[in-house]
């Protein structure tokens, strides 16, 4: 079912529950070309979350993070976003009331037990009028969702395998994070949580 947890933030519970195998195959195809990596934050910490991407990807340099169409190491374009993810992004955005959505960047996060994502805003995209579609696979997690100020109170939202959340409108710039993922085993994904976010970066 469809639940609006804040203005512009819509949880589509179980939206892709029956599509785990195809989605994982798409993830694995991207990861075969862009192996999991642990980025260093501008503050010098190594992230506990492992990342891969397609479409536009992250480049970090002395200025911080940027989206780029090419791997600065090889000069080659990042892999294209798999069709199944483009289709899912559009269907989820429409279901949530945002109309057609054509993302140009896809970040894939892998959480092992204990991995977390500290409270942050996503503001490196050029167009905040486009929503972000996020897909949760594997182990469950507790999502923290705050306001426009880091110190605003946060709500905790459990996210399970197959849940899709669409973040747009007034929620697009809200602070958010993921609490440390608990130890566990998912029959399809194993001891991981995978999160796919589809975005319009440029």
| Binding site residues, Fe ion, CB under 5 A | 122
**137 near ligand MD3, rule: CB under 6 A:** no
Closest approach, Cβ 185 to Fe ion, in A, equals: 26
From 18-26, 38-46, 70-78, 167-175, span contacting ligand MD3 (CB under 6 A): 167-175
**109 near ligand MD3, rule: CB under 6 A:** yes
**200 near ligand MD3, rule: CB under 6 A:** no
Options 97, 122, 142, 160; binder of ligand MD3; rule CB under 6 A: 122
The entry of ligand MD3, Fe ion, none near residue 134 (CB within 5 to 8 angstroms by kind) is ligand MD3
For the chain, give the DSSP string.
Answer: -EEEEETTEEEETTTTGGGHHHHHHHHHHHHHHS--B-PBPTTSPBPSSEEEEEEBEEEEETTEEEEESB-TTT-PBPPPPPHHHHHHHHHHHHHTT------SEEEEEEE-TT--EEEE----SS-TTS-EEEEEEES-EEEEE--SSTTS--EEEEE-TT-EEEE-GGGTT--EEEPPPPP--BTTTBS-EEEEEEE---
Closest to 168 (Cα-Cα) out of 3, 10, 2: 10
First to last CA, the chain: 31
The entry of ligand MD3, Fe ion, none near residue 174 (CB within 5 to 8 angstroms by kind) is ligand MD3
Closer of 91 and 122 to ligand MD3 (Cβ): 122
Q: 173-192: which residues touch ligand MD3 (CB under 6 A)?
A: 174, 176, 178
**93 near ligand MD3, rule: CB under 6 A:** no
**144 near ligand MD3, rule: CB under 6 A:** no
Closer of 71 and 122 to Fe ion (Cβ): 122
Closest approach, Cβ 122 to Fe ion, in A, equals: 4
Closest to 11 (Cα-Cα) out of 23, 2, 19: 2
Specify whether the CB–CB gap between 153 and 145 falls below 8 A: no
Q: 10-69: which residues touch ligand MD3 (CB under 6 A)?
A: none
Residues within the interface to ligand MD3 (CB under 6 A):
107, 109, 117, 122, 132, 134, 165, 167, 171-172, 174, 176, 178, 195, 197
């Amino acid at each position: 079912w469809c639940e609006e947890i804040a203005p512009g933030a819509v949880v589509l519970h179980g939206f892709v529950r029956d599509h785990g195998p195809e989605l994982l195959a798409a993830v694995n195809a991207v990861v075969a070309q862009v192996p999991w990596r642990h980025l260093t934050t501008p503050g010098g910490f190594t992230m506990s979350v492992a990342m891969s991407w397609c479409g536009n990807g992250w480049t970090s340099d002395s200025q911080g993070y940027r989206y780029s169409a090419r791997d600065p190491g090889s000069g080659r374009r990042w892999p294209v976003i798999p069709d199944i993810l483009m289709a899912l992004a559009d269907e989820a955005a429409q279901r949530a009331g945002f109309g057609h959505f054509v993302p140009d960047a896809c970040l894939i996060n892998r959480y092992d037990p204990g991995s977390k994502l500290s409270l942050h805003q996503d503001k490196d995209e050029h167009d905040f009028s486009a929503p972000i579609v996020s897909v949760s696979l594997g182990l469950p997690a507790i999502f923290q969702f705050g306001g426009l100020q880091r110190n605003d109170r946060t709500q905790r939202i459990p996210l399970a395998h197959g849940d899709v959340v669409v973040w747009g409108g007034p929620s697009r710039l809200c602070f958010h994070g993921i609490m440390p993922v608990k130890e566990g085993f998912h029959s399809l994904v194993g001891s991981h949580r995978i999160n796919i976010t589809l975005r319009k970066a440029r």
